Amino acid sequence: MNGSKHNPLCSGASPEKVTSDLELLVDFQEQGVSLKELRQMIEERLLPHFMQYDKPEFQSLFNFFPEKAANFGAKIAIDYNQGTTNWQVSPGAVMLEELCCQSLCRLFGLSQEADATFMYCGTYSNQSALYLALHWTAEQHGFDFAKKGIQGFEDPTRLVAITSREAHFSLKHALRIMGLGEQSLVTLPVDENYRIDIKNIEEILKELQDIYDVFCFVATAGTTSSGSVDPILPIVKICKEAGIWFHVDGAYGLAYSLVPEKRHLFSGIEQADSITWDPHKQFGVPIPNSLLFVRRREDLYRSAVYGDYWNRREDPEPNPGLKSPPSTRPLSALPLVTSIRYLGMEKIIQRLHAPLVAIKTVYENFLHSQAIELCHEPDLGILCFRVTPEGFPKKQLDQLQQSVYDKTKVEGKRSISLTKIDNKIVLRLVIINEDITAEDIMETISYIRALANEF
Ligand SMILES: Cc1ncc(COP(=O)(O)O)c(C=O)c1O
C-alpha cells in the first residue's frame, strides 16, 4: 500500500477549485515547456485531485491500483506502442493476444471451441455480445444481419433482449446504438437477493415469446449495485430449449468463478453463448481492459469486416482485428499476461478471496443490528445497506443516505458509493483490494454512523 492511512483519499475540492488548478495545464501556448516544469505542474495541480485507489479507505468502486507486474507489462506495451490488429502490425503482439485468449478460455473452464477477443471495456463487450446475438438470430430467420441489418426482420419492433432489472445500463447503450432503442429491453423481477427470480421463468419466457421476438437473454454474474449472481444454470437450459442466445455479463463477477468457494454460483457458465469480463476491475491491470468470450469460435467472426489493404480475407495468419470492431487495437493482453505469470494462480485466488471474506464478516456482524439495515446477503465483494439511527424518521432515510454520501465526498477521508435498490437510496461498499480487512470496513461503517448522527 502506498501512503499513510491518515492522509485524505482525495482533495475533496469543489469543481470550481479543481478547474482553477487545472486551467494552467490546458493553456496551450506557442512555446513548449520542459518536462521538469510539466512534472511540477502535474504534481502540484493534478495529483492532489486524484483518487488514491490503493488506500484501505477506498471502498466505493471497482477501480484498483495497478498490480506491479501488470504495470511492468503495460509499460512495455506503451514503450513499443504495439498494435494488435493483424500480423502486419505486430506478429508478436498478435500471437500473444491469440494465445492469451486461448489460455483464458481454459482458465475459466470453457470448451476447446471457445475463443475470446480483447475489448476496450465491459460496455463495448456487452454491445458486441448483443450484436452477435442479433446476427445469430437473423441467421435462424434465414438472412445475413451484417448486410440487411434490422430491416431484415419481418417486424423489428418485436425484437427484445431480456435481462434482470438490476442489469448494467450498458445494455441500454447497446440497444440505443443498434437502433433498437431502450424500449427493446425487457427487465425481469428479482428475488430478495437481487438475482433474477426464476420462479415461473419458463412460463414468463413463453408469454414474452408470444408477444416479442426475444433475441438475447442476459444474465449478470455480479450485478453492479449488489454483486448478485443470477442463477445461470437454469437460465442456460431454458435459453437452449427456447433457441435464444444467452449472454452472461460477468464484467465484475467472472473473476470470482476462479475462487473454489464461489464456483457453484457460476455453474453452467461454460454453456453461455457469450460472456463479458473486465480484468481491469479486480485483476489490477491498467484500465481499460476487457474481454468478450464466445462458446463457438466462429461466432466472433460475425463481426468481421474485410478490407483490401488491411484485414484481408485471404491473409493466412491470425487476425484479432477480425474478431471485434476496433481497427487500431492496443496490446491489452501483455499486462494481463505479465501479472498472471508473476503472481501465479494460487496468489491470484487468495487476492480474490480475501475481500469476499471481509465483506461476509461485516455482513454477519450487522445481521442483528438496529443501526444498520442490510439490503441483501452478499454473493461477492459488495455490500449495500442503510444507516438507520434510532428514532430517525423513516420517511427521511433516503435523504439521510444521500447527505452522508455527500459529506464523505467533501471530507475526502473515506470513499463509499451510493445506489438505488428497490427504489430506496442505499449506501454501497465495494471491496476489491485484498489488503482491506473486515476491521477497515467496520471503521468505515463507524465513520458513516458518526456522520449520520450529525443530521
Ligand atoms: C455488471 C457490469 N457490466 C458492465 C459494466 C460496464 O463495464 P465498463 O465500465 O468496463 O464499461 C459494469 C461496470 O461497472 C458492470 O458492473
Atom nearest to 288 CA in ligand 1: 10
Half-sphere exposure (Cβ direction) of 224: Cα atoms closer than 13 Å: 20
- Residue to mutate, 61, 64, 123, 274, ligand 1, most ligand atoms under 8 Å from C-beta: 123
The per-residue pLDDT for 8 is: 81
Structural domain containing residue 189: 83-330
CA of 252 to the centre of ligand 1 (A): 7
**CA-nearest residue, atom 16 of ligand 1:** 224
Check whether residue 264 and residue 118 sit in a common domain: yes
Query: Which residue has 490546458 as its cell numbers?
Result: 26
Regarding beta strands 382-387 and 424-430, do their DSSP bridges make them parallel or antiparallel, or are they unpaired? antiparallel
Per-residue pLDDT of the chain (455 residues; tens, 9 = 90+): 344 444 689 898 999 999 999 999 999 999 999 999 999 999 999 999 999 999 999 999 999 889 999 999 999 999 999 999 999 999 999 999 999 999 999 999 999 999 999 999 999 999 999 999 999 999 999 999 999 999 999 999 999 999 999 999 999 999 999 999 999 999 999 999 999 999 999 999 999 999 999 999 999 999 999 999 999 999 999 999 999 999 999 999 999 999 999 999 999 999 999 999 999 999 999 999 999 999 999 999 999 999 999 899 999 999 999 999 999 999 999 999 999 999 999 999 999 999 999 999 999 999 999 889 999 999 999 999 999 999 999 999 999 999 999 999 999 999 999 999 999 999 999 999 999 999 999 999 999 999 999 99
* 283 shares its domain with 314: yes
Residue 257 and residue 194 share a domain: yes
pLDDT of residue 154: 96
Question: Which residue among 330, 359, 375 closes a domain?
Answer: 330
Closest-CA residue, ligand 1 atom 14, reads 224
Give a yes or no: residue 74 inside a domain: no
CA dist., res. 455 & res. 435, Å (int): 32
Q: From ligand 1's centre to the CA of 122, what distance in Å?
A: 5
| Sign of the alpha-carbon dihedral angle for 408, 410, 412, 413 | negative
Same domain, 101 and 56: no
Strands 115-119 and 245-249: unpaired
Instruction: Mark whether 247 and 272 lie in a shared domain.
Output: yes
Q: Residue 48 is placed in which grid cell?
A: 492532489
Q: What is the pLDDT of residue 382?
A: 98
Do 248 and 356 have their domain in common?
A: no
- Residue bearing the CA closest to ligand 1, atom 4: 122
Please give the full DSSP string across 217-242, using - where no structure is assigned: EEEEBS-TTT--B--HHHHHHHHHHH
Nearest C-alpha neighbor of 53 from the set 433, 455, 312: 433
The CATH number of whichever domain residue 447 belongs to comes to 3.90.1150.10
Both 245 and 350 in a single domain?
Answer: no
The answer to whether residue 322 sits within a structural domain is: yes
* Domain presence at residue 57: yes
31 located within any domain = no
Cell of 108: 475459466
The phi and psi torsions of 422 (rounded to 5 degrees) equal: 50, 35
> What is the count of structural domains for the chain?
2
- Is residue 75 in some structural domain? no
User: Do 60 and 174 share a domain, yes or no?
Assistant: no
Write the single-letter amino acid at 236: V
The DSSP output letter for 143 is S
Q: Which residue owns the Cα nearest ligand 1 atom 8?
A: 122
CA–centroid distance, 26 to ligand 1, in Å, is: 30
Sign of CA dihedral 314, 319, 325, 330: negative
Q: Among residues 281, 298, 330, which one ends one of the domains? A: 330
- Verify that 216 and 270 share a domain, yes or no: yes
In the structure grid, which three cell numbers stand for residue 419, read together? 445506489
Asked whether residue 290 is assigned to any structural domain, the reply reads: yes
Q: Residue 218 belongs to a domain with what CATH number?
A: 3.40.640.10
Under DSSP, the state recorded for 31 is S
Q: Cell numbers 500471437 correspond to what residue?
A: 95
Residue nearest to atom 9 of ligand 1 (CA): 122
**Any domain includes 164:** yes
Nine-digit cell string for 237: 437450459
Please give the order of strands across the beta sheet that includes 245-249.
115-119, 290-294, 274-277, 245-249, 213-220, 159-164, 185-188
Rounded to whole angstroms, the Cα distance separating 264 from 430 reads: 22
Q: Give the residues surrounding ligand 1 with Cβ less than 6 Å away.
A: 62, 121-123, 126, 168, 170, 220, 222, 224, 249, 251-252, 278, 290
Evaluate whether 83 touches 328 at the Cβ level (below 8 Å).
yes
Distances in whole angstroms, Cα of residue 136 to Cα of each of 17, 185, 215, 299, 392: 51, 18, 9, 8, 54
> Do 307 and 220 share a domain, yes or no?
yes
From ligand 1's centre to the CA of 11, what distance in Å? 26
The domain boundary, picked from 284, 301, 330, lies at: 330
pLDDT of residue 7: 63
Looking at residue 190, what DSSP letter applies?
Answer: B
Candidate of 168, 256, 276, 289 to mutate for ligand 1, largest count of ligand atoms within 8 Å of Cβ: 168
Q: Is residue 339 part of a domain?
A: no
Task: Give the other-Cβ count within 10 Å of 295's Cβ.
Answer: 19
The three cell numbers of residue 3 are 501512503
- DSSP run (H or E) holding 161: strand 159-164
Q: Residues 61, 64, 69, CA angle at the centre, nearest 5°?
A: 165
C-alpha cell at 138: 437473423
Q: Are 303 and 244 found together in one domain?
A: yes
Helix axes 68-80, 333-365, angle to 10 degrees: 150
Q: Are residues 249 and 381 in the same domain?
A: no
